[in-house]
Structure 1
Amino acid sequence: MTTEPDPYSPIRRSPPPAFNAPTVILFSIVVLVAVHFFRVYLAGPALEEWFVLNLAFIPGCYGDLAVDCSDRLAGVDYWTPASYMLLHGDAVHIGLNSLWLLVFGTPVARRLGAQRFLAFSIAGSVSGAALFYVINPGLLAPVIGASGAVSALMGAASRFALPRAGRISFMRADIRLPLEPIATCLTNRTVVVFVAAFFGTNFLFSTGLGGALGEGNVAWEAHLGGFAFGFLGFALFDRKMPGSPAF
């Protein structure tokens, strides 16, 4: 009689192939690209404007009703903190987010499974929108992009996929490793350097000095909100394994 091996056994096995991305990652990228292609290249100006009004996150619309918000669908404020991640500004914007989704989302998706991964990504997007709103409550410009969710995946990957020494490879991360407590993670020099680089880059964006890294406005607030949620709250979504802490 044979039994199937337990994928979460503490016994170390060879990591999966580097480019064997989970189906949920490939599906997510296809959806993002399809929505962008339709909105930019197939939809006319009126339909494109409808997409932005009803899917983008607009902080100022949560206050007193402004003229700019009057044409939105009823109840739109309930879903836009998540749906704004479906929209992107241009090919570079969606290309970078798709790349980071592939790199950082792969180990998280392998560890969580498809349903938990999608729930975690949505929660990361909402967390990014929440911090953006706190800092820019009256802004009527639309916020778009999957960067809040991707940043949450970066924060989550920091909790288990960064080695203490050696070469970093998120695509080959050992998903069976127990989740380290936050305090222990912060004694890992690799994690500290990664977190510092993330916050440092977004600090440049916040001061306007990051223009050389990309054109257009960057929603660094959503990046920070998503990353903080992913780093601090990943344990709430993690599959419990022997040795895993609550936080």
Structure 2
Amino acid sequence: MTPQPDPYTPIRRRQPPAFNTPNVVLGVIALLVVIHVFRVYLASPLVEGWMILNLSFIPGCYADLAEFCLVREPGAGAWTPASYLLLHGDGMHVGLNCLWLLVFGTPVARRIGAQRFLAFMIAGSVAGAALFYVFEPGLLAPMIGASGSVSALMGGACRFALPRAGGIGLMRAGARLPLEPILSCLTNRTVVVFVAVFFVTNLAFSTGLGGAFGPGNVAWQAHLGGFIFGFLGFALFDRRDTIGPGRPAI
């Protein structure tokens, strides 16, 4: 007689593999790479110039400080705080952003789903542009890159993945982990060390010391703006069924 399973025995669910990356993350990475390859290697100088002028974030154009701002598309000022995330300076720039997008975007997308993930990335980009504008309101050079959005993903991961997972477990983290309160995160050793390294690194770039360790002209303000938004505002995008009983939504 075949023994029957005990109905009271808990069912062990298999953990998702570490590199089971959500399709939305892979799609965003592919989009960034395709746009970069097209702009750098396939587009004509005229098309490339149009992309930089109308997709990058140029703070000084909001005050019409240069004639070239007048030839931008009429709605450029409305969409460029988000669209600048689509452009990158060189292969290393897009490669690093895609790497961190893979690492930190995977747990966030797995937790909140594709639509909320995209909305969160766009909001992080806008937050990064906003803080960049505060520091550089008259700058007429274009600001590009997905670093503001990626930093927002890092900040969001600090609210649920880093406190309890960390390391390789970060890629497996998802909806099962509770959303940690802000004060609880700030007393978690893993989160505190990560945040400290993040801010010290950006402080080094802000003082020019970071040039010895990476490319110059780093928009550290956008990094900080995206990270602060992601850390403080992640609960606004989190699904209610993942917050957990008794957990505050902030």
- TM-score, structure 2 as length reference: 0.91
Partner of 1:245: 248
Cα distance in 1 for residues equivalent to 2:24 and 2:166: 29
The Cα shift of 1:51 comes to 0.3
Give deviations 1:125-176, integer Å, cap 9, x for gaps.
0000000001100000000000000000000000000145874532122431
Greater C-alpha Rg: 2
Partner of 1:7: none
SS of the aligned residue for 2:68 comes to: helix
Partner of 2:124: 124
Give deviations 1:180-237, integer Å, cap 9, x for gaps.
1101111101111110110000000001100122123100000000000000000000
Cα distance in 2 for residues equivalent to 1:12 and 1:226: 38
Partner of 1:95: 95
Partner of 2:159: 159
Partner of 1:216: 216
SS of the aligned residue for 1:106 comes to: helix
How many residues matched?
237
Cα distance in 2 for residues equivalent to 1:172 and 1:68: 47
The Cα shift of 1:15 comes to 2.9
| 8 A Cα contact 2:65 2:138, kept in partner | no
Give deviations 1:12-63, integer Å, cap 9, x for gaps.
8443111110000000001000000100000011110100000000000011
**One-letter code aligned to 1:246:** A
| 8 A Cα contact 1:86 1:145, kept in partner | yes
Cα distance in 2 for residues equivalent to 1:181 and 1:101: 24
**One-letter code aligned to 2:157:** A
SS of the aligned residue for 1:169 comes to: helix
Partner of 1:171: 171
| 8 A Cα contact 1:15 1:174, kept in partner | no
Structure 1 stretches of at least 4 aligned residues deviating more than 6 Å after TM superposition: none
Cα distance in 1 for residues equivalent to 2:166 and 2:236: 29
Cα distance in 2 for residues equivalent to 1:99 and 1:12: 32
Change in CA separation of 1:240 and 1:38 when aligned onto 2, cut-off 3 Å: same
- TM-score, structure 1 as length reference: 0.92
Partner of 2:108: 108
SS of the aligned residue for 2:233 comes to: helix
| 8 A Cα contact 1:131 1:225, kept in partner | yes
Partner of 1:192: 192
Alignment of 1:74-85 (within 5 A): 74-85=74-85
Cα distance in 1 for residues equivalent to 2:157 and 2:29: 19
Partner of 2:231: 231
Cα distance in 2 for residues equivalent to 1:106 and 1:63: 38
The Cα shift of 1:102 comes to 0.2
| 8 A Cα contact 2:108 2:174, kept in partner | no
Cα distance in 2 for residues equivalent to 1:121 and 1:151: 9
| 8 A Cα contact 1:159 1:179, kept in partner | yes
SS of the aligned residue for 1:70 comes to: helix
Q: Which sections of structure 1, spanning at least 5 residues, go unmatched?
A: 1-10
Q: Which sections of structure 2, spanning at least 5 residues, go unmatched?
A: 1-10
**One-letter code aligned to 2:117:** F
